[in-house]
Structure 1
Amino acid sequence: MSSEEKRTWISALVGVVVPAVYLATILSRVPGADVATIAYVKPMLISIGAGIGAGIVLAIVAAAAGPREPDRIDERDREINRRGEYAGFYVMSIAAIVPLVLAMAEAQQFWIAHALYLAFVLAALASAIVKIVAYRRGW
């Protein structure tokens, strides 16, 4: 497994676990509450920071634990990365419509922020999934 593929797997893992923990924590407060009173900004920022930090730490651990392999990126890696990023871009472009519509409908900031957060998460996961499939099945 190339170092690029390892980083993609780490990105996918972090992209599932961190938002799932955050959303489970925050959304458990929603039933019966006025969402305007739910303090979500600090936990969301912590979640974003934790995701970035976990991705960096896990990539370093994977690089240190793995066999010494050249950290070269070949044409295949570039093409897989390009395709994955395109997929993430398209998912983000489509998913960003939801927070835009919520803002136009004057929905509460809580829902707009979470729709946008979810759009970023879906884009990152789509990108990682396309890359993993390309690495596993070829392109």
Structure 2
Amino acid sequence: MVAEERAAWAGLISLVLTIPVYVVVLVGASDPTASWLPIMLWTIGAGIVLTVLIIAVWALIARAREGDAVAATDIRDRDISRMGTRVEHAFLVIAGLGVIALCAVSADVFWIAQTMFAGFAVSAFVGGIARVIAYRRGLI
């Protein structure tokens, strides 16, 4: 498994762990509409840190098992990365349209932020899944 595939998996693992925690903490808050920002920022930070830690530990294990060949990349990795980015952007556009619609109806900032956050999460999840599938089955 190349570094880019491990990074895709690490992102998915981190996302699957952090988003449910965010939802549980937000729902459990006494007033979620007033305390959402610190919860969201901590979740984003924790997700980034967790992803970096997973990538680093996994890279150390892979290097110990397979040597320096594990860091090699090729044109396929670049193409898969581009395809994953295109998939992610499509979902970000959908989330952006949702945010614009919420702004048009003067929705509360809480709902606008939650919609964009969900859009980022779905985008990262779908893009990660697309990358993993491309690594496993190849690009079409």
Query: How high is the TM-score relative to the length of structure 2?
Result: 0.89
1:71-116 deviations in Å (ceiling 9; x for gaps): 1220111111110110001111112111211111111111111000
Q: Which residue of 2 aligns with 1:2?
A: 2
1:18-42 deviations in Å (ceiling 9; x for gaps): 1121012213448xx6x54x31111
Shift of residue 8 of structure 1? 0.7
> Counterparts of 1:53 and 1:29 in 2: how far apart (Å)?
23
**Among 47, 58, 83, the residue aligned to 1:51:** 47
5 Å-filtered alignment, 1:49-88, equals: 49-66=45-62, 67=65, 68-70=67-69, 71-88=71-88
The CA RMSD over aligned residues, in Å, is 1.5
5 Å-filtered alignment, 1:1-139, equals: 1-29=1-29, 36=33, 38-66=34-62, 67=65, 68-70=67-69, 71-139=71-139
Alignment length, in residue pairs?
A: 135
Instruction: Judging by fraction of residues, say which structure has more helix.
Output: 2
Amino acid at match of 2:54: L
Q: Which runs of 5+ in 2 are unaligned?
A: none
The more displaced of 16-25 and 78-87 is 16-25
Give the fraction of aligned pairs with identical amino acids, expressed as a percent.
29
Query: How high is the TM-score relative to the length of structure 1?
Result: 0.90
Q: Which runs of 5+ in 1 are unaligned?
A: none
> Counterparts of 2:42 and 2:123 in 1: how far apart (Å)?
20
For the 8 Å contact 2:19–2:43, the answer to whether it is kept is: yes
> Counterparts of 2:4 and 2:135 in 1: how far apart (Å)?
10
Shift of residue 17 of structure 1? 1.6
